[in-house]
Structure formats: structure tokens, C-alpha cells
């Protein structure tokens, strides 16, 4: 029997999402969340939240599956940097609004948006609510 080196670790793929609610001039909750491929959730509270600093949680596989479906329904991977579908012809600038930055990686897909909500995108608004719900941020927010 020969000694053999273990096989190198293989990235099993899967969904990984990072999202952040940014500051505003008021008392907007400001935090970053990362949902890892294995279901770990990392929270980093910055301002106007119950938990400032780091906290951790876990979501089960079914929630990650729900998140993958939510990303597809919102056409997340087809959106431009502002979170809009490419054919959006008008740009509106507004101030004193927190934005939501979302980045998602899945096998064969990657996109990142910085959505300020000035030009309403109901699918993105719904997705952001689902991200908070699935990650369980209410416990820290």
C-alpha cells in the first residue's frame, strides 16, 4: 500500500451573495452581509443597527435555493450597475438615500449592482427584502 497525497480541494460551486446597505444623511441602518456557499452568514453592523461589529448565523440549503430562485426572478444577472434592465432610458439622480449594493456569484453567473431606489425597480426591491429575510438580519438590525 502506497501513501498518496490527498486530492486537492475542489470548489463545489454554489451561490455566494454579498450585500450592503450604505449610509445616508439620516439614521439609515448601515451594514454588510455575506451569505457563503455553505450557508454561513457573516454580519458586520456599521451604524444605526442593534449589533455594531461582527455576528454570525447560518441559513439552510432550502433558503439558499430560494435565494437562487429570487435572483433569477429579479433577472439579477441581466441588470446594469444601477440595478436596472439595460433598456432603461432615463437616469434620475437623488440625494440622501441609502443604496443597496448586491453582488452574487454562482456557477456561470456573476453580477454586482449599486441600487439607490430612485428609479423604482420592484423586482430589485423584492429581492433586497428577500436577502434580508433569508440572511436573518432582523436579529441584528
> What CATH number is attached to the domain comprising 58?
3.30.1560.10
How confident is the model at residue 126, as a pLDDT?
A: 95
What is the C-alpha separation between 32 and 55, in angstroms, rounded?
Answer: 11
Q: Which range of residues forms the domain containing residue 54? A: 16-139
35, 64 contact by CB (below 8 A): yes
Q: Is the pLDDT of residue 2 over 90?
A: no
Query: Would residue 88 count as lying in a domain?
Result: yes
What is the C-alpha separation between 14 and 65, in angstroms, rounded?
Answer: 10
Query: Would residue 11 count as lying in a domain?
Result: no
Query: Would residue 6 count as lying in a domain?
Result: no
Query: Would residue 65 count as lying in a domain?
Result: yes
Query: Would residue 111 count as lying in a domain?
Result: yes
Q: Is the pLDDT of residue 119 over 90?
A: no
Query: Would residue 39 count as lying in a domain?
Result: yes
What is the C-alpha separation between 68 and 79, in angstroms, rounded?
Answer: 15
As a whole-number percent, the residues of the chain with pLDDT over 70 amount to: 86
- Cell numbers for 58: 447560518
- pLDDT digit string (tens) for 51-71? 999 999 999 999 999 999 999
- According to DSSP, residue 96 is labeled S
Query: Would residue 47 count as lying in a domain?
Result: yes
pTM of the model: 0.85
Q: What angle (nearest 5°) sits at the alpha carbon of residue 15, between those of residues 10 and 20?
A: 125
When divided into structural domains, the chain yields a total of 1
84, 5 contact by CB (below 8 A): no
Q: Going by C-beta distance under 8 Å and a sequence separation of 6 or more, which residues neighbour residue 55?
A: 43, 45, 139, 140
Query: Would residue 3 count as lying in a domain?
Result: no
- pLDDT digit string (tens) for 79-91? 999 999 887 566 6
16, 112 contact by CB (below 8 A): no
Confidence of residue 114 (pLDDT cuts 50, 70, 90): very high
Q: Indicate the SS3 state at residue 30.
A: strand
Least-confidence region, from 74-78, 115-119, 134-138: 115-119
Amino acid at each position: 500500500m502506497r501513501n498518496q497525497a490527498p486530492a486537492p480541494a475542489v470548489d463545489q460551486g454554489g451561490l455566494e451573495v454579498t450585500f450592503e446597505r450604505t449610509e445616508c444623511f439620516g439614521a439609515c441602518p448601515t451594514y454588510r452581509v455575506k451569505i457563503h456557499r455553505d450557508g454561513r452568514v457573516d454580519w458586520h453592523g456599521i451604524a444605526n443597527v442593534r449589533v455594531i461589529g461582527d455576528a454570525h448565523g447560518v441559513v439552510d440549503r432550502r433558503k439558499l435555493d430560494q435565494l437562487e430562485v429570487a435572483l433569477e426572478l429579479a433577472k439579477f444577472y441581466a441588470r446594469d450597475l444601477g440595478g436596472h434592465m439595460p433598456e432603461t432610458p432615463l437616469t434620475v439622480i437623488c440625494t440622501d438615500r441609502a443604496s443597496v449594493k448586491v453582488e452574487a456569484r454562482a456557477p456561470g453567473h456573476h453580477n454586482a449592482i449599486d441600487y439607490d431606489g430612485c428609479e423604482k425597480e420592484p423586482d430589485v426591491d423584492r429581492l433586497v427584502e428577500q436577502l434580508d429575510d433569508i440572511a436573518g438580519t432582523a436579529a441584528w438590525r
